[in-house]
Structure formats: structure tokens, C-alpha cells
Amino acid sequence: MSTTIELTPEARRRLQNLAKTWDERARAAATDAELAKVCFDRAKAAARWAQRTGDMRAMHELAELLATWSAQTEYTAATRHTA
């Protein structure tokens, strides 16, 4: 059985404001590189917020996720050019 957490009106409003802000920045990105920067900045901001609210592993987990993605992408690029 899953547990549903009910957000307070303040928390819901904060999440809606965050989504609006980041969505606007993402839409304004003119290139994929700019979009990646916006998304990276959002991830860092979310990890910092999580740390401030007690999740001391958030930044480390973000780093692990990025390292995994980077290694997979590097491998794909390397194998694409060796065939």
C-alpha cells in the first residue's frame, strides 16, 4: 500500500512557483547547451534545498547520477566512433 503525502497549501504554492520559474527558463533557452545549463542549475538548486531541509546526501546523489550518465554517454560516443 502506498502512502500519499498531502502537501500544505504553502508547499504546493512553492512547488508551483518553482516549476513556473524553471519552465520559463527552459523555454527561453535558445540552444541545447543553454537548456542543459538550466536543467543543471535546477538540479543543483534542488539538491541545495534538500540539504537545507535535512537530506545531507542530496548533492552526493546528484553527483553519482551525473557521473553515471557521463560514463554511459562517453562509452556510447567511444563505441560509435570505433565501429
Is there a domain that residue 31 lies in? yes
Is there a domain that residue 52 lies in? yes
Binning pLDDT at 50, 70 and 90, where does residue 74 land? very high
Span 45-71, average pLDDT: 98
Distance from C-alpha of 35 to C-alpha of 76, rounded to nearest angstrom: 22
Q: What is the pTM of this model?
A: 0.84
**Residue 20 near residue 14, CB atoms below 8 Å:** no
Name residue, grid cell 565501429: 83
For the record, the C-alpha cell of 23 comes out as 519552465
Is there a domain that residue 33 lies in? yes
Span 48-69, average pLDDT: 98
Identify the H or E element spanning 76.
helix 58-80
Count the Cβ atoms, other than its own, within 10 Å of residue 62.
Answer: 17
Number of domains in the chain: 1
Is there a domain that residue 2 lies in? no
Is there a domain that residue 27 lies in? yes
Range of the domain at 25: 9-80
Binning pLDDT at 50, 70 and 90, where does residue 4 land? confident
Closest CA to 42 of 53, 34, 7, 5: 34
